[in-house]
Structure 1
Amino acid sequence: MTISTRKRALGGLVAVGLFVALAGCASAPPEETDETADAGSEVVEGFLPCVVSGASPGGFQDKSFNQLSYEGLERAADELGVDFLDVRSTSSSDFAPNIQSLIDQNCTLVVTTGFDLGAAAGEAAAANPDIQFVTVDTIVDEDFDGDTDSPNIKPVIFDTAQAAFMAGYASASYSTSKIVGTFGGGNFSTVSIFMDGFAQGVEYWNEQKGDNVTVLGWDREKEDGLFTGSFVAGQEAINAAQGLVDQGADVILPVGGEIYQSAASVIRDSGKDIALLGVDADVFETDPTVGDLLLTSVLKAVDVGVEEAVLKAGVGEFDVTPFIGTLENDGVGIAPFHDFEDKVSPDLQAELDEIRAGIIDGSITVESYLAG
């Protein structure tokens, strides 16, 4: 376990974006204004934000969740002119002790990165009602009643089905084999939401174009699919990717941590023209070693959600209303086509723009557990 401290320069606060209500609410709340985080707001005395990583081998340089959470906190600390602490977890057994170590060091707000920290965050929040918690990718609902378990927790979650829908449509457009595939690290809602949205996008392509592109690795009716049981690159991920390639998939969406690296190695070894999809961050930017393989990436603005939550807490306006990233508030999206710009249909971007608008205005329905 390592803990580091950074000193951040003094600066003004940035304006916050849009919020949407927790799943099940009828409508989104009104647009936030600069008044909620203006440059004249006074930072809370003793405010010390902190972050605990998930158990990814890459820690805060995992090119994904942990890194994005760290960067969001870092930017907020810069704006507020405060120190922050970070602690890296190497296994799930580190979660509770790491959180407690930050509380013991007088952290006033703790960011936990990833759904697998939910249970530890929930227990710590209940035991420390004066500490603010920001939980990334989980609402911390251990009793499954639809409500966050403690009143001092702000969830930062994402309806990535919307963005994955667009990626699925793009993949179906690009595919020449008429077979695309996906696999995940584990059958958790935060993983399967990508896979299901991806499949819905392919279905929409088929409906609109009278085509018959097949999705391997996810069964929408059974809500089950191809999973490796791990979020690290390794033999299980290689086997999963190889199986999709052997069945003819020419676009592959791996969902979970670093398993995309295993898929990339399989694609290179195959010598075939197979495209890769990234998740969470724009993997073309975060991992240039696979950039030439990437059709696009399904984005979660984890850094934006964390930064916004910390900024508001820092000026005494901690708000436990869940931040739900959507296409409408730019909390989710898809990355540019980068090296594939000249390989996709010249009509594709305009079609995706129309789909995005349709999802936002409700004329195109995307199903997900966050859709309400």
Structure 2
Amino acid sequence: MAAIAALALTACGDREDDGDGDSSASDTPTSTESSPTEDAEQFPDFKACMVSDSGGFDDKSFNQTSHDGMEAAAENYGVQTAEAESSDPSQFADNIDSLVNQDCNQITTVGFLLGDATRAAAKANPDVDFAIVDYEFLHPETFEPNPPPNAKGLTFDTGQPSFLAGYLAAAKSETGVVGTFGGLNIPTVTIFMTGFAQGVEHYNTENDADVKVLGWDPENPDAGSFTNDFEDKTAGQSLAEEMIGQGADVIFPVAGPAGLGGLQAAQDNEVWGIWVDTDGCVSAAEYCDSLLTSVVKGMDVAVEKAILDSASGSFNNEVYRGTLEDGGVSLAPYGPNADVDDELAAEIEELKQQIISGEITVG
């Protein structure tokens, strides 16, 4: 955990911390060799590889950030790399197999939807180490941890910083209405939305307010708002515009590239947006002026660490869980126009400490 936290500090962007300061295709994979640094142990004969989700590696979200982790491992430890970019879930298994056939020593798959394909590949290839972002290997009946010996889940408690983002959204809303939507109704999406809704609820309780959340009710998950994929930016924009039409003045999209449509709608209608996975002022800088903040997952740090562990012979199959406490998840610095005063910033910092201590439970 200490090593991951230390790496997280070096992985932060160059944007000035003016807020909370808690910290973002072809079917044929290609190999690239990176120039290793001189001050770290080198593994030039080790090959680390990656398969994207259907959003692709330039999604300005979780695929891109995970890919940054593999690139960092190449730069810092001299490993070789190869990658396979998916444009459809039907390609997942074939893309993994193609990398196995390229003699990859370690393969990282990106996203909850690759869980089954990753488990099957790990069982079929015991000499290859696997890591998967946003997935924990569980027994299908008991739901107890059940990873293959050569497969590691990289998970992130994004509900925690999403709670802080929800509190911030409620505090900044002038209409008393905020909105959120997801790409698919799956746990790694709804964990953000639930944390966000709970943060709004906490603000209401603490401030005798009545800010409403459009798009998600943790007690009625079947009625949530989803684009039903992670690629359709137009669908994300339409959902956000519908919420804005109902009075929402903060939009929290959890939908990868489709979520960029939500930021576009926020910008066009002069309301606030909150980005996910990475610091949006870095990964989607064109929307920075409209952002309150971003909910950040240290996927790049976790991926780099998993590759290093495999290359150095210290790989294990214990699930990694990123939290506010270890820096695996965080709230990005506030946007340049967010105008978060010292009192509100102090409230959010106090909430963060209460989550870390267990006084507030999210999820």
Query: Which range, TM-score by smaller chain?
Result: 0.7 to 0.9
Q: How does 1:88-127 map onto structure 2 within 5 Å?
A: 88-127=85-124
1:341-370 deviation line (CA, Å, top 9, x unaligned): 4x2333111111111111111112212xxx
1:179 to partner: Cα distance: 0.7
Identity of aligned residues (%): 41
- Residue of structure 2 in register with 1:18 after alignment: none
Decide whether the 8 Å contact of 2:148 with 2:317 is kept in 1: no
| TM norm structure 2 | 0.88
Change (3 A) 1:124 1:208: same
Alignment partner, residue 60 of structure 1: 57
Aligned equivalent of 1:345: 341
1:301 maps onto 2:290 in alignment: no
Deviation at 1:265, TM superposition (A): 2.9
Say whether the 8 Å CA contact 1:173–1:345 is kept in structure 2: no
| Match among 150, 155, 158 for residue 148 of structure 2 | 150
Task: Compute the displacement of 1:328 (Å).
Answer: 0.5
**Mapping of residues 279-298 of structure 1, within 5 Å:** 279-298=276-295
Task: Decide whether aligned partners of structure 1 residues 232 and 42 sit closer, same or farther in structure 2, where only a CA change above 3 A counts.
Answer: closer
- Contact between 2:192 and 2:254, CA under 8 Å: does it hold in 1? yes
Amino acid at match of 1:232: E
Instruction: Give the aligned partner of residue 241 of structure 1.
Output: 240
Range with bigger deviation, 259-268 or 292-301:
259-268
Does residue 355 of the first structure (1) align with residue 354 of the second (2)?
Answer: no
**C-alpha RMSD over aligned residues:** 1.7
Counterpart CA distance in 2 for 1:269 and 1:81 is 44
Unpaired stretches in structure 1, ≥5 consecutive residues: 14-38, 368-372
Q: Distance in 2 between matches of 1:265 and 1:73?
A: 29
TM-score (norm 1): 0.86
Amino acid at match of 2:36: L
- Aligned residue type for 1:278: W
Offset at residue 186 of structure 1 (A): 1.1
Deviation at 1:235, TM superposition (A): 3.7
Unaligned segments of structure 2, at least 5 residues: 1-26
After superposition, what is the alpha-carbon deviation per residue over 1:273-326, rounded to whole angstroms, capped at 9, x for unaligned?
A: 310010000111111111111111111111011011111111110021111110
Output aligned runs, 1:297-336, within 5 Å.
297-336=294-333
Residue 42 of structure 1, CA deviation: 7.2
Q: Counterpart of 2:215 in structure 1: which amino acid? A: G
1:1-372 superposed matches below 5 A: 1-11=27-37, 43=43, 46-56=45-55, 59-141=56-138, 143-144=140-141, 145-224=143-222, 225-270=224-269, 273-341=270-338, 343-367=339-363
Change in 2 beyond 3 A, CA 1:265/1:74? closer
| Letter in structure 1 aligned against 2:203 | W
Asked if the contact 1:9/1:82 (under 8 Å) is kept, the reply is no
Q: 1:278 to 1:66 in 2, by over 3 A?
A: same
CA distance in 2, matches of 1:12, 1:356: 38
In structure 2, how many angstroms separate the alpha carbons of the residues matched to 1:2 and 1:317?
Answer: 30
Count of aligned pairs between the two proteins: 335
Counterpart code for 2:63:
N
Q: What displacement does 1:142 show?
A: 6.3
- Residues 156 and 323, structure 1, Cα contact 8 Å, conserved in 2: yes
CA–CA distance in 1 between the matches of 2:49 and 2:209?
50
Distance 1:346 1:212 in 2: 23
Q: CA deviation at 1:252?
A: 0.7
